Structure 1
Amino acid sequence: MDTIEWSDFDKVQLRCGTVVRAEAFPEARRPALKVWVDFGPEIGVLKSSAQITEHYAADALVGRQVLAVVNFPEKQVGPFMSQCLVTGLYDEDGAVVLVGPDRAVPDGTRLC
């Protein structure tokens, strides 16, 4: 395993935000949802394409807090521009389980 310096990790902006909108993304090559996440007044709402359909329905995501990388460059995913990377972990079947706090924190809070 490669090691990194603290300064490398410090460059990654992992922030918590609340899902304010989610919908199906039928144009995606692999099953995905379009997700809008509010990261508070400093960052605002960013969009993400997330391959999380195994465990999550769009309507059940609204109001849920997630952890995302907010300082990657934007990425075109089909007709959709993804502005952040919502994080997750693979379960034993290879499906993504979202990462988020176990109690509410202010939107925009940075991982420490």
Structure 2
Amino acid sequence: MVNNKAILTTSDWVKGISRHGELIIGFIDSMSMVQEAVNVTVVKSDNEELIGKTIPMSAKQVESVPTGQTKDTEQLEFLIDLALSTGDEAWFIELTAELNLRKQMVN
């Protein structure tokens, strides 16, 4: 799905403003091409009640968040926990491989 800034796909990290004016950061859980809508699982928000919930948003309400290429060990451990909590096995495997490689390079 294309919004005005980038091509969006499932599992992309996005940020945006909800219909009620709340800042959200999360990842795309699912999409509807017909309705030009995305369901975003909220990881951070200025409304703490939204954290952990999946909310519908227009693709025009969100923009892709660039992912950093270098992550420190603490960031990788946090992301591994997030991958486990969301049931994203492929991402979990990718992150644990990156963490193991980082640990091997230190030793």
Which band: TM-score by shorter chain?
under 0.3
Higher gyration radius (CA):
2
Greater RCO (CA < 8 Å, at least 6 residues apart): 1
In terms of fraction of residues, the more strand-rich structure is 1
- State the TM-score, normalizing by the size of structure 1: 0.27
In terms of fraction of residues, the more helix-rich structure is 2
